[in-house]
């Protein structure tokens, strides 16, 4: 990302909305915003395989692995406003497990792009399945969307919930129910 170019564009945006980019409080704002977007969109430059960084370990266990309440922050691709919440991940390995921090890092890679929550949820599930060759994967995400809270319908208490279930989490209702029970969520299908 060309940070200088983005800062210049933000300066122009400030003018267009009626602000004076030279006033004291805004002088450094264009560069601050450019740096913020550089960070918030850093997922475009991240390679999930490098994020995993060979932290894939042999395991004879085929139990369900669960990581709950992973914080997620992203930008909606429709209004470029934040959405944020929690991501819950479960999978059943077939001889390979990911280092636990890698689950959160995979969430981060995909969240640091302009997104819709539905795609984000599915991309995380697919990434885990592909990396581990898991028997099944489940991802549930619960987020609040600023584009719905501070504009449009202005519903401050709404929460969007999405799920992606692959393999045995999709095909076997008891496996799916176990996952949802462990993460403390109930989703009726």
Amino acid 61: pLDDT: 80
pLDDT in tens, the chain (189 residues): 999 999 999 999 999 999 999 999 999 999 999 999 999 999 999 999 899 888 889 988 888 999 999 999 999 999 999 999 999 999 999 989 999 999 999 999 999 999 999 999 999 999 999 999 999 999 999 999 999 999 999 998 999 999 999 999 999 999 999 999 999 965 544
Q: Is the dihedral of CA 151, 156, 157, 161 positive or negative?
A: positive
Instruction: Indicate whether 86 belongs to any domain.
Output: yes
- As to burial, measured by CB atoms within 10 angstroms (0-12 exposed, 13-18 middle, 19+ buried), residue 54 is exposed
Amino acid 189: pLDDT: 42
Q: How far is CA 138 from the centre of its chain?
A: 14
Instruction: Indicate whether 189 belongs to any domain.
Output: no
The reply to whether 54 and 120 lie within a common domain is yes
Amino acid 186: pLDDT: 56
DSSP for 29-81, written as a single string: HHHHHHHHHHHHTGGGG--HHHHHTT-EEE-S---EEEEEEEEEEEEETTT--
The reply to whether 88 and 15 lie within a common domain is no
Amino acid 185: pLDDT: 67
User: Residue 33: which domain range?
Assistant: 3-40
Instruction: For residue 2, count other CB atoms closer than 10 A to its CB.
Output: 10
The reply to whether 17 and 85 lie within a common domain is no
Number of separate domains in the chain: 2
Q: How far is CA 82 from the centre of its chain?
A: 11
Amino acid 187: pLDDT: 52
The reply to whether 9 and 84 lie within a common domain is no
Pair 110, 68: CB distance under 8 Å: no
Amino acid 183: pLDDT: 95
The reply to whether 79 and 159 lie within a common domain is yes
Amino acid 163: pLDDT: 97
The reply to whether 30 and 55 lie within a common domain is no
The pTM (predicted TM-score) of the whole model is: 0.91
Q: Enumerate helices (H) and strands (E) in the chain, giving the number of each.
A: 8, 7
Amino acid 54: pLDDT: 82
The reply to whether 102 and 166 lie within a common domain is yes
Q: How far is CA 17 from the centre of its chain?
A: 30
């Amino acid at each position: 990302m060309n940070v200088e170019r983005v800062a210049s564009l933000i300066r122009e945006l400030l003018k267009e909305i009626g602000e004076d980019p030279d006033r004291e409080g805004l002088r450094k704002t264009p560069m601050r915003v450019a740096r913020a977007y550089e960070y918030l969109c850093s997922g475009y430059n991240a390679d999930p395989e490098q994020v995993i960084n060979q932290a894939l370990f042999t395991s004879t266990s085929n139990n369900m692995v669960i990581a709950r309440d992973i914080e997620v922050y992203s930008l909606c691709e429709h209004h470029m406003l934040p959405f944020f919440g929690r991501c819950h991940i479960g999978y059943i390995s077939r001889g390979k497990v990911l280092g636990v921090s890698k689950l959160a890092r995979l969430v981060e890679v995909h969240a640091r792009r302009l997104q819709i929550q539905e795609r984000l949820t599915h991309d995380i599930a697919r990434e885990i399945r592909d990396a581990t060759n898991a028997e099944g994967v489940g991802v549930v995400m619960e987020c609040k969307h600023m584009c719905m809270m501070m504009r449009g319908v202005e519903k401050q208490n709404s929460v969007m919930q999405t799920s992606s279930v692959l393999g045995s989490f999709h095909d076997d209702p008891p496996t799916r129910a176990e996952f949802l029970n462990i993460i403390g969520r109930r989703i009726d299908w």
